[in-house]
């Protein structure tokens, strides 16, 4: 089920039929992003392909941007769920090993999740690897940049699942790591549509070394 905030949806779907409609609209939004990009995405076409009246669309989403924001939030929740599932079965030597795991999951979603190459966690990319559409830096939260939201969610996961020491050092280190990984992975997907493997490996090395040097 979609896990989006009350601020994202105009009305929370209460009945199963409504939940399914919202999911179909998000699914079709993702497919249309892959097929035509963000600029060509229209609420009318999303509703048509999802098989819902346009009035139903506007019952749940205020506009195209609200729809894409909900998709980005769904992507983030799916990403965190994938990491949590891997952590449940992984044998990690150190909590910084989560860096490799998180990068692998992100790369796999870039390769296989519909719409993720255009909108991952909020930023709208006009082409694989960028550039970023202006104004989409705060899609997840009006007060915070997208990467700050992602870093905060990863912070909660590392503290809860791996016992990482909480505090400002962890907060700062995770934000820097997320920002650095974001830049290098964008480069990897600009160089190759499936992500350049050597650049992905460099991203892992960079993040692991940084976290190892800055956190106990």
Q: What are the pLDDT digits (tens) for 14-59?
A: 578 888 999 999 999 999 999 999 999 999 999 999 999 999 999 9
| pLDDT on residue 208 | 94
Residues 122 and 190 in one domain: yes
Residues 86 and 188 in one domain: yes
| pLDDT on residue 11 | 62
Residues 48 and 99 in one domain: no
Would you say residue 4 lies in a domain? Answer: no
Residues 105 and 209 in one domain: yes
| pLDDT on residue 14 | 58
| pLDDT on residue 120 | 96
The whole-number average pLDDT for the span 201-212 is 95
Specify the CATH number for the domain of residue 46.
Answer: 1.10.10.60
Residues 179 and 103 in one domain: yes
The whole-number average pLDDT for the span 95-117 is 93
| pLDDT on residue 9 | 63
| pLDDT on residue 6 | 41
**Residue-wise pLDDT tens digits, 84-103:** 999 888 887 777 888 999 99
Specify the CATH number for the domain of residue 164.
Answer: 1.10.357.10
Q: Using the predicted structure, report yes or no on whether residue 209 has a pLDDT greater than 60.
A: yes
Residues 112 and 158 in one domain: yes
Would you say residue 66 lies in a domain? Answer: no
Residues 23 and 95 in one domain: no
Residues 85 and 47 in one domain: no
Q: What percent of the chain has pLDDT over 90?
A: 72
Q: How far is CA 121 from CA 42, 70, 126, 146, 205, in A?
A: 20, 10, 14, 7, 23
Residues 134 and 162 in one domain: yes
Report the number of distinct structural domains present in the chain: 2
Residues 177 and 132 in one domain: yes
Residues 46 and 103 in one domain: no
Residues 52 and 94 in one domain: no
Range of the domain at 157: 76-214
């Amino acid at each position: 089920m979609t896990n989006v905030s009350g601020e994202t949806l105009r009305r929370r779907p209460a009945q199963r039929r409504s939940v399914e409609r919202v999911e179909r609209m998000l699914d079709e939004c993702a497919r249309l992003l892959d097929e035509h990009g963000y600029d060509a995405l229209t609420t009318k076409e999303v509703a048509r392909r999802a098989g819902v009246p346009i009035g139903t669309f506007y019952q749940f989403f205020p506009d195209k941007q609200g729809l894409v924001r909900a998709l980005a939030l769904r992507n983030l929740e799916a990403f965190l769920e994938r990491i949590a599932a891997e952590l449940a079965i992984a044998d990690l030597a150190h909590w910084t090993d989560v860096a490799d795991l998180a990068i692998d999951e992100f790369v796999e979603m870039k390769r296989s999740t519909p719409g993720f190459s255009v909108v991952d966690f909020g930023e709208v990319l006009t082409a694989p690897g960028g550039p970023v559409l202006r104004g989409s830096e705060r899609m997840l939260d009006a007060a915070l940049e997208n990467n700050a939201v992602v870093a905060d969610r990863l912070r909660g996961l590392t503290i809860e699942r791996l016992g990482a020491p909480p505090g400002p050092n962890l907060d700062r280190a995770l934000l820097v790591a997320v920002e650095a990984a974001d830049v290098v992975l964008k480069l990897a997907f600009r160089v190759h549509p499936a992500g350049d493997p050597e650049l992905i490996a460099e991203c892992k090395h960079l993040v692991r070394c940084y976290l190892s040097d800055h956190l106990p």
